[in-house]
Structure 1
Amino acid sequence: MDSPVQIPFKSFLQLKRDDPSAVYLQIVFGFIRAIQAGLLPEGTRLPGTRVLCKLLEVNRNTLIKALQDLESQGFIEILPNKGIFILSDQKQKKTAHVPAATAANATPFTFQRSAILENPTETSDLPYQFNDGQPDIRLVHNDVLARLYVSKLKRRRNLVAREHIQARSHEQFKAHFANFLNLTRGIRISTANLLTAGSHEISLYLAAKLLISPGDKVVVASPGYYLPNMTLADSGAHIIPAPVDEDGLLTQVLQEICEAQPIRLLYLTSNYHYPTTACLSAKRRMEVVELANRYGFVILEDDYDYDFHYDNNPVLPLAAFDAKDRVVYVGSFGRSLPSGFAYGFVAGPADFIRELEKHQNILEPGKDVIKEQVLTDWIQDGEVHRLSKKNRKIYQERRDGFVALLQAKLGSRIRFRVPPRGLAVWVEWLEDFSLVKLQKECAARGLFLPKTILYQTKGLTATRIGFGNLDPEEMAAAVEILRQSLEAVLQYR
């Protein structure tokens, strides 16, 4: 293999000092793209940090931070006194001996490239898989939805005056949906305060684009939700992390940030913090709203997992207590339904919603009248409540079974709290070891741990383990594999 110094780093690492994303993140994403494209095959030895600093024209602290991030994600391995090696299973693609620099710039025209919007999703064919808290698609009631959808399609009136029916049907759907949100989440909105979208991600994207201008300072909880953080950063936000504990965001730190500089927005998953599952305490809820009113920032509240709560009196969102329209409330609906029937929504001031609709008309110019009519019937008939109640019972049983397995198999090695909602448990490991090595041991035994659920920093070794997609037998097998893999890692560390 060629000397590492001869690797054409400038062909795939083009650092932009005026880019809103941090330089170390540009380095991280540049290496990930190069590895995935096969430009840096497995086993490639990188130059030393001093040489790399000179090649990339960055300071050593920035480079070290990027390399630590790459190592924690499992893309490289840093061996003392030996060097830095690419540690990816991506194999170099066979081309007609095109030089790397030429292959990377093969497109005959220029276009904007994002160093932020990388897809971290991984797939696997292993028999057992943990995720970050996704529902079980096997529990979806496809037959009922299909029957309702077909019956709506067969009605002749749906084929006449399509535009008129579309507008009227959409308003009817919004009216019932707004009422549903008022009843279930304690917010007080009308159709003028509501935008429905094809997905939670589209809702968040639209809200971020309208609320954030390049350079705006946005506070996010840390550790945080990687997908919304990418959306916020891509909108031009300067991200400022604030720590969380068992009661959610530390409001004292938030106040200190606000006193030091003007803040445009706070992004918050108040009811079920991602990834730690902590719920913002009642005292801190009041403090967050009071700080927003005092310092004039917007609260972008993301209630992405409301469908899965296991207590009789679920915690209401901040939007339910927002008397001065400081909260823009983004959420999801129907995560237990087939993906085509799930919805995202934004609730906020009427003039803000009108502006959102202008942008939505470009992304989603048409409405699925039939789907909206089916869901309107489901809401009217109470079927949504019945289905939600049935699924919550199933997932609560799975949660209880899962935490019992964790306690029985790993109790002395982990710390966790039973989450009152959601489909994942935040597990903190009490011993020091490499999560990347644990991931490999699990894979060798048939259990897939995606990198997105692994959290490892200097003071934290934790995993967000989803249980909703597993039935009791699968759950027991997966936790046993996790136990065996941990024993193997600890034995050879």
Structure 2
Amino acid sequence: MLPYKSLIQIDRKSPVTLYIQVCNVFIALITKGMLQPSDLLPSSRVLATLIGINRNTVKLAYEELISQGWAESLGRKGVFVISKLPALSKTKPSETSKPKSDNSGEAFRWTNKFKNATPSENLQKTTLAIDDGFPDVRLAPIDQLMREYRSLSRKFYGRNFLKYGSAKGSEHLRISIGNYLSTSRGLGVAAENMVITKGSQMGIYLAAQLLLDLSDTVAVGVSNYGFADDTFRHAGANLLRIPVDGKGMDVDYLEEALRHKKIKAVYIVPHHHFPTTVTMSMERRLKLLNLAKEYHFAIIEDDYDFDFHYENKPYLPLASIDHHQSVIYIGSISKTFAPALRIGFMTGPPAFVEAAASLRQLIDKQGDTPLEEAFAVLFNNGEMDRHFRKSLKIYKQRRNIFCQILKSDFNEVIEFKTPEGGLAVWANFDKKIDLLKMSENASRKGLYIANGSFYKNESFVTNALRMGFASLEENKMVEALGILKKVVR
């Protein structure tokens, strides 16, 4: 007989009833091969004594096993593991407890296309961080958003938002964002020509899957957003690296490449290029649009933080001056509101948007309609506009203080330009500073700061990283940079 006294551990504080606990242990013993078909189970009296529970509880457990098809009662002989079950080999602890570095020894074969993917950083557990350039979530009008969310659930028409809806997302939010794009960017977009996405990353994925086939070429910056690179590679595309300087992507270099190579798409962040924060000149923007018309390639415009520009009015997006429907325009509310609230949008040629909505259904059916409806209310009542204006003022102050400290305390080890917009400084560190060790040493002192590896690729290796200032209040900024100063010196 098996050592049931040690195998069956009863937890009287568990919300699971005692007889179900016993039943579940027997099922586990059978599926692990420790009990075989036709094996006799201990009598209810014996088992009750062994594990210290009432005999009737054991009887209930056996009845449950029988009703689920794991056991059978054979008259006065007792209760047995049902004889019709296939025999299972005994599971060794090592088979389930040890993770494998590959899938060679697993039960089925599969292809891991993400071996080299960069893991996302978990900033939810950090207390002090110089991040990549994220908004201060404390400024976001979350209470108002949740108030509208709850309000919708109490209204008679709000229950309809709990049903399946359009894969394009909430029509009210699409109308609201369309109006906002018209007033802020001069971009007229009809509601039916927009897809609400889970942030800009989903928009990049949808565009890549629709545009790119195996071995197609997509042009990207020598320095570029790493997750966009990974998305295009996942679609089977080859990356063509185009130099990026103080005026953005080198369109003359792109033009020369187009004369010799078929390029399916160009991915670009013209407004605060990632990671270097430079803004593309208007001359290059216009030339890029002309090249798209001439060579018939798509422009994927990632405009993730248009709303934050401090010195003057920002350039209009490429999509606003595109008259030939060459641009797929992707934006994000997550980067301006709160990263965890995944709301973004994508526009483009009507047929392309329809196809994107069909593809979105396959991976996510639809978005969070009540949340999207609540955001629509905030746009319509002016709360989002107030949030943007308030945040812009605060972020500009924080940028100024942050850059002043960098100039005074890090002048010998960090080279940078004060950004005209965005939420981060592109900081070039002295080559003598090992960013990996710096990050590790800072972490020991309670400060999270990246090690710069995310910004590197096969063509771009630099001792630099993005240093976000927007999420830091002044006292925390001083504390964070104080720790960093000790670490680098």
TM-score (norm 1): 0.73
Q: Which moved more, 1:231-240 or 1:292-301?
A: 292-301
Question: Could you say if the C-alpha distance between residues 172 and 324 of structure 1 is closer, same or farther in structure 2, counting changes exceeding 3 Å?
Answer: same
The one-letter code of the counterpart of 2:256 is: E
Whether the 8 Å CA contact 2:198–2:367 is kept in 1: the answer is: no
Whether the 8 Å CA contact 2:424–2:467 is kept in 1: the answer is: yes
Matches of 1:270 and 1:411, distance apart in 2: 28
Question: Could you say if the C-alpha distance between residues 100 and 136 of structure 1 is closer, same or farther in structure 2, counting changes exceeding 3 Å?
Answer: closer
Question: Could you say if the C-alpha distance between residues 102 and 354 of structure 1 is closer, same or farther in structure 2, counting changes exceeding 3 Å?
Answer: closer
Secondary structure at the counterpart of residue 356 of structure 2: helix
Secondary structure at the counterpart of residue 133 of structure 2: coil
Aligned-residue offset at 1:313? 1.4
How many residues are matched? 394
Question: Could you say if the C-alpha distance between residues 297 and 479 of structure 1 is closer, same or farther in structure 2, counting changes exceeding 3 Å?
Answer: same
Aligned-residue offset at 1:139? 2.3
Whether the 8 Å CA contact 2:450–2:465 is kept in 1: the answer is: no
The one-letter code of the counterpart of 2:406 is: L
Aligned to 2:35: none
Secondary structure at the counterpart of residue 271 of structure 2: coil
Aligned to 2:305: 305
Question: Could you say if the C-alpha distance between residues 165 and 196 of structure 1 is closer, same or farther in structure 2, counting changes exceeding 3 Å?
Answer: closer
Aligned to 1:129: 129
Q: 1:250-306: CA deviations, max 9, x gaps?
A: 112111211221111110001110000000011111121122122221111101122
Aligned-residue offset at 1:310? 2.2
Secondary structure at the counterpart of residue 137 of structure 1: coil
Aligned to 2:435: 435
Question: Could you say if the C-alpha distance between residues 171 and 443 of structure 1 is closer, same or farther in structure 2, counting changes exceeding 3 Å?
Answer: closer
Question: Could you say if the C-alpha distance between residues 340 and 470 of structure 1 is closer, same or farther in structure 2, counting changes exceeding 3 Å?
Answer: closer
The one-letter code of the counterpart of 1:112 is: T
Whether the 8 Å CA contact 1:117–1:234 is kept in 2: the answer is: no
Question: Could you say if the C-alpha distance between residues 333 and 443 of structure 1 is closer, same or farther in structure 2, counting changes exceeding 3 Å?
Answer: closer
Secondary structure at the counterpart of residue 244 of structure 2: strand
**What does 1:282-297 align with in structure 2 at a 5 Å threshold?**
282-297=282-297
Whether the 8 Å CA contact 1:269–1:302 is kept in 2: the answer is: yes
Aligned to 1:359: 359
Secondary structure at the counterpart of residue 240 of structure 1: strand
Higher normalized helix content (fraction of residues):
1
Aligned to 2:59: none
Among 463, 477, 480, the alignment partner of 1:478 is 480
Question: Could you say if the C-alpha distance between residues 410 and 139 of structure 1 is closer, same or farther in structure 2, counting changes exceeding 3 Å?
Answer: same
Secondary structure at the counterpart of residue 345 of structure 1: strand
Secondary structure at the counterpart of residue 329 of structure 1: strand
Aligned to 1:278: 278
Matches of 2:448 and 2:195, distance apart in 1: 37
**What does 1:208-287 align with in structure 2 at a 5 Å threshold?**
208-287=208-287
Matches of 2:462 and 2:157, distance apart in 1: 60
The one-letter code of the counterpart of 2:117 is: E
The one-letter code of the counterpart of 2:462 is: L
Matches of 2:390 and 2:150, distance apart in 1: 24
The one-letter code of the counterpart of 1:479 is: L
Secondary structure at the counterpart of residue 411 of structure 2: helix
Aligned-residue offset at 1:131? 1.6
Gaps of 5+ in 2: 1-92
Aligned-residue offset at 1:453? 6.0
Aligned-residue offset at 1:327? 0.9
The one-letter code of the counterpart of 1:472 is: E
Question: Could you say if the C-alpha distance between residues 126 and 191 of structure 1 is closer, same or farther in structure 2, counting changes exceeding 3 Å?
Answer: closer
Q: Which moved more, 1:201-210 or 1:112-121?
A: 112-121
The answer to whether 1:113 aligns with 2:112 is yes
Query: Structure 1 vs Structure 2: percent identity of aligned residues?
Result: 29
Whether the 8 Å CA contact 1:117–1:230 is kept in 2: the answer is: no
Gaps of 5+ in 1: 1-93, 488-493
Secondary structure at the counterpart of residue 241 of structure 1: strand
Matches of 2:161 and 2:476, distance apart in 1: 51
Matches of 1:134 and 1:160, distance apart in 2: 34
